[in-house]
Amino acid sequence: MPSLLLRLRRLTWPQVVHWSIRRLPVSSLRRRSLDLQYLQRRQKRELSKATTKEQRSEIEGSYKWDIWLGEEAVETVHSDLLRKQADRLHLPLPSGEEYWARGDYTEENYLTRAGCEWMREKIRTERKARWEDRSRPLTLGVTLLGAVFAFVAAGVGVFNAHETWTEHHHVDGSHQKP
């Protein structure tokens, strides 16, 4: 543990926050998004400190590759999540070059923006259809339950009215005032 504290002492405050967030139990998409945001903030901070054009181009060049890799990693993980959702719902994957791109770093195919939109629309449509299929019996059950309660309430009302009437009227036909 002492080595951990020594390592944390050497880090700046944003690096400590970033380091601690990396150890939280979060999804891989969220973790990669946080890494990418961290790199972008760090680049922006260093660019604000740069005084010459050469320094700015050097900073942009040094971060360009890391940010590009981060964006590709986020898109790859996001595509994997959409693929898993499509597999769970037994949906086909889109076909066509406009829906897929090949990662230069990961060398995996991932969905483009058009592919993500297409997949989200298909997933949304399928989930809506499944919800409607599941909700029909539920709607029928709630309707029947409401009808039963209404029938019971009407019966109780009639029974109470009959008891009240018999309390005030005797069998011999005489009427007693309350």
DSSP assignment of 96-110: STTTEEE-TTT--EE
Threshold 0.85, pTM exceeds: no
pLDDT at 1: 39
Contact assessment for residue 80 and residue 115, using Cβ atoms and an 8 Å cutoff: no
* pLDDT of 57 above 60: yes
- Residue 141, pLDDT above cutoff 90: no
The per-type count for the chain, helices as H runs and strands as E runs, is 5, 2
The residue among 29, 41, 119 whose CA lies nearest residue 75 is 29
Is 127 a residue whose pLDDT tops 70? yes
Bigger pLDDT: 175 vs 12? 12
The DSSP code for 111 is E
Select from 153, 151, 157, 176 the least CA-distant residue to 166.
Answer: 176
CA 147 to chain centre: 37
SS3 for 53? helix
Residue 32 confidence (pLDDT) above 80? no
Q: Which of the 8 DSSP states describes residue 172? A: T
173 pLDDT higher than 70: no
Of 70 and 7, the structure prediction assigns the larger pLDDT to 70
What's the rounded Cα separation, in Å, for the pair 84 and 29? 13
Neighbouring CB atoms inside 10 A of 8's CB total 12
pLDDT band at residue 14 under the 50/70/90 scheme: low
Evaluate whether 32 touches 77 at the Cβ level (below 8 Å): yes
Give the list of residues 6+ apart from residue 19 with CB closer than 8 angstroms, or none.
8, 11
State yes or no: pLDDT of 164 exceeds 80: no
